[in-house]
Amino acid sequence: MNKLASDFRTAMLGAVGGIFTFSVFLLIDRIDSYYAYLSRAGEEEYWHHSAFMDLWWIPSTFWHALLFAAASFAAHRYLAGRRLSPFLLWQVIGAVGLSGWLLTLFTATGLECLRAGSLFPLESIAELLFTSFTAKFVATVFACNVAYSSLIQGVASQYPALPESPGEA
C-alpha cells in the first residue's frame, strides 16, 4: 500500500507540474496577444480575434497534465535510482512530456492524412511546428521545470541529498 501511495504522490507531482507549466504558457501567450493587439489597435482594418476565447486550452491542459503525470511516474520509477539531481530529473520529465506532445501531433496528423488521402494536414502541422508559438511552449516547459524542481527540492524530503563524490555513497 505504501508503494501505491508513493506512486500516486509522484503522479500528482507530475500533474501539478504540468498544470503549472501550461498555466504559465497561457499567461505568456495572453500577454503576447495583448501587446500584439495594442500594436495594431490604431489600424482600422485590424480585427483581433483572441485565440484564448476559443477554449482550445481546456482539453490541452488536461492532456498536458496527463502527459506530465505519466512522465513523472515513469521517470521517478525508472530513473530515481540513478541518483539524478531533481533538476535533471524534471528536465527529463519535461522532455518526455514534449515527446508525448510530438507523438500526439504526429499520430493525429497521420490519421488525418490517411482519412483525407492527401498531405495537406502534414503541411499544416509543419507550419505549426516552426512558429514562435512552439518555441514559446518548449522554452516555457523547460523554464518552468527549472523553477518547479527548485521548489520541490526546497520543500520536499522526497529527494535525498546527493553525495559530494561517487565514493561517499
* 76 domain-assigned: yes
Cβ atoms 145, 94 nearer than 8 A: yes
Residue 132 lies in a domain: yes
pLDDT tens-place string over residues 102-137: 999 889 888 888 888 877 777 777 777 778 888 889
Indicate whether 95 belongs to any domain. yes
Is 169 within a domain? Answer: no
∠ CA 159-100-84 to the nearest 5 degrees? 20
167 lies in some domain = no
Counting the structural domains of the chain, the total is: 1
pLDDT at 48 over 50: yes
Eight-class DSSP state of 118: S
Whether pLDDT at 53 is above 50:
yes
What are 151-157's contacts with CB under 8 Å, separation 24+? 152/13, 152/86, 152/90, 153/86, 153/87
Tens digit of pLDDT for each residue in 85-111?
A: 788 888 999 999 999 999 998 898 888
Examine residue 161 and state whether it is found in any structural domain, yes or no.
no
- Segments forming the whole domain that contains residue 24: 2-39+57-155
162 in a structural domain: no
Q: Is residue 46 part of a domain?
A: no
Q: Are 70 and 48 in contact (CB under 8 A)?
A: no
pLDDT tens digit string along 57-71? 888 899 999 999 999
Note the pLDDT of residue 169. 47
